Amino acid sequence: GENVEQHPSTLSVQEGDSAVIKCTYSDSASNYFPWYKQELGKGPQLIIDIRSNVGEKKDQRIAVTLNKTAKHFSLHITETQPEDSAVYFCAASRGRTGANNLFFGTGTRLTVIP
């Protein structure tokens, strides 16, 4: 099955700086890579996703890059703000097929220091 690894497990940045979280996956058939933000006591919220037919996607301060050859994808948050503090999970799945289980990384606890 799929194995998703995520690094770092914790990340602290000063407000205004950038934050980068990296994930690798093992299943070359995976083609859908969402990122979720989970605040304390809440469910994960889908913040951005990328599909295997593109290499980069951006939405305001958030961007995700995908390298299919190397089987890794990254989340980039620019101009970080205190409200970006949360746990971020990457995930991978074979989005087009019926199985479509999301395989999650272990999470990154991001702390933005004001």
Partner 1 sequence: GAVVSQHPSRVICKSGTSVKIECRSLDFQATTMFWYRQFPKQSLMLMATSNEGSKATYEQGVEKDKFLINHASLTLSTLTVTSAHPEDSSFYICSARRSSGGFYEQYFGPGTRLTVT
Residues that bind partner 1 (CB under 8 A): 31-32, 34, 36, 41-46, 49, 51, 89, 93, 95-96, 100-102, 104-107
The Cα 111–Cα 21 span in angstroms is 13
The Cα 44–Cα 41 span in angstroms is 10
Q: How far is the CB of 26 from partner 1 (least distance, A)?
A: 16
- The smaller minimum CB distance to partner 1, of residues 98 and 114, is found at 98
The Cα 18–Cα 30 span in angstroms is 28
Residue 16: Cβ within 10 Å count: 11
Q: Using the structure block, give the residue that is written with the tokens 């970080």.
A: 80
Q: How far is the CB of 22 from partner 1 (least distance, A)?
A: 16
- The smaller minimum CB distance to partner 1, of residues 77 and 107, is found at 107
- The smaller minimum CB distance to partner 1, of residues 52 and 78, is found at 52
Q: How far is the CB of 109 from partner 1 (least distance, A)?
A: 8
Strand, helix or coil at 98? coil
